């Protein structure tokens, strides 16, 4: 099932149908929007063997079946590197060699590199040769949550496809199509912040409960003093496994709170529990929320990319409230 981004998907389909596929793409946008899922579906489309284009990807032909089993000889997904520069450079060199081979089962050799902004500058530079000298039937897709951190000479050689958060109604429609209880759709839609993969995860009752507990905990912190904040941050950073999820909850809650403040989202459209939580933060100026949002987003990125001290980085961001 496709989770949103119909416009981007139709553009990609049309490019294949007209045989005007680019040799390299950049799929950009915030996390949990489904960029990697769309990229993988695009790879299926490129190599599907069905004679009827409207049926592609058919999920029945040998190429589609190999994709489903994650063993397609003409598809390569690079993700979760160990962030060692030498290893990254070797991966890029291996990718160049792999793309130089002729397709075996499909029409194209398709490679996806997820979160390419986390690769070192040296590794990014090593990819330039591959981008400058495209070989045969190859398609390379770079995925990035932070495209502004990529080398400009790389971006100039890519066709960028931008992914944005979906509207509340789009999320509701997707949830209903997935068989969600209608009484939950608005609630999940607001919690998802337009992120279809997060909305899909929140269909699980346990995940929804955990999400709301995290939000309640965070909302209760907003009007506390700096001493209280620093204590809570100390506790939070000790829960290292849950830290990324907690920060995402903070960011999504602040983003929604800011949109309510600006009148983009009507407070009356929120359920009673959400309205009660937002009531605790009504005294915070929109300017401070905006500054906190930008600072926490930067901190969230640094924590995923470097060895920055989590406690100090988050404490520095929270100072925007004071």
Residues of the chain with CATH 3.40.50.300: 6-162
b or e along 106-142 (b: 16 or more beta carbons within 10 Å of the residue's beta carbon)? bbbbbbbbbbbbbbbeebbebbeebbeeeeebbbbbb
Percent of the chain with pLDDT over 70: 95
Per-residue model confidence as pLDDT tens digits over 233-288: 999 888 777 888 889 889 988 988 888 888 877 776 676 777 777 776 778 888 99
Per-residue model confidence (pLDDT) at position 269? 67
Using a 10 angstrom Cβ sphere, with 0-12 exposed, 13-18 middle and 19 or more buried, the burial of residue 61 is buried
Residues of the chain with CATH 1.20.272: 204-321
Per-residue model confidence (pLDDT) at position 1? 57
Model confidence, pTM = 0.86
Domain 6-162 has what CATH class? alpha beta
Higher pLDDT, 132 or 113: 113
Whether 134 shows a pLDDT value over 80: the answer reads no
Percent of the chain with pLDDT over 90: 57
Which CATH number among 1.10.10, 1.20.272, 1.10.760, 1.10.8 corresponds to the domain 204-321?
1.20.272
């Amino acid at each position: 099932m496709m989770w949103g981004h119909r416009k981007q998907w139709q553009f990609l389909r049309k490019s294949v149908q007209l045989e005007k596929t680019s040799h390299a793409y950049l799929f950009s946008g915030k996390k949990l929007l489904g960029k990697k899922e769309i990229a993988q579906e695009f790879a299926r489309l490129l190599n599907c063997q069905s004679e009827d284009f409207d049926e592609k990807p058919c999920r029945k032909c040998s190429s589609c079946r190999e994709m489903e089993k994650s063993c397609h000889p003409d598809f390569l997904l690079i993700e979760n590197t160990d962030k060692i520069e030498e290893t990254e450079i070797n991966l890029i060199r291996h990718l160049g060699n792999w793309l130089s081979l002729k397709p075996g089962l499909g029409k194209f050799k398709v490679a996806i590199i997820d979160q390419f902004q986390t690769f070192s500058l040296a590794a990014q530079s090593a990819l330039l040769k591959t981008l400058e000298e495209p070989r045969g039937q190859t398609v390379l897709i770079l995925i990035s949550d932070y495209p502004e951190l990529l080398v400009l000479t790389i971006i100039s050689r890519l066709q960028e496809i931008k992914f944005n958060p979906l509207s509340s109604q789009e999320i509701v429609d997707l949830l209903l199509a997935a068989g969600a209880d209608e009484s939950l759709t608005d609630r999940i839609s607001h919690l998802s912040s337009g992120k279809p993969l997060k909305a899909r995860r929140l269909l699980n009752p346990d995940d929804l409960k955990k999400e709301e507990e995290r939000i309640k905990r965070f909302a209760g912190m907003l009007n506390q003093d700096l001493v209280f904040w620093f204590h809570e941050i100390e506790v939070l950073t000790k829960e290292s496994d849950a830290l990324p999820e907690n920060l995402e909850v903070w960011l999504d809650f602040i983003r929604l709170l800011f949109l309510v403040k600006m009148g983009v989202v009507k407070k009356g459209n929120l359920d009673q529990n959400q309205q009660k939580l937002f009531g605790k933060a009504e005294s915070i100026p929109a300017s401070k929320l905006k500054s906190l949002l930008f600072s926490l987003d930067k901190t969230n990125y640094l924590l995923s990319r470097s060895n920055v001290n989590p406690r100090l980085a988050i404490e520095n961001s929270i100072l925007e409230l004071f």
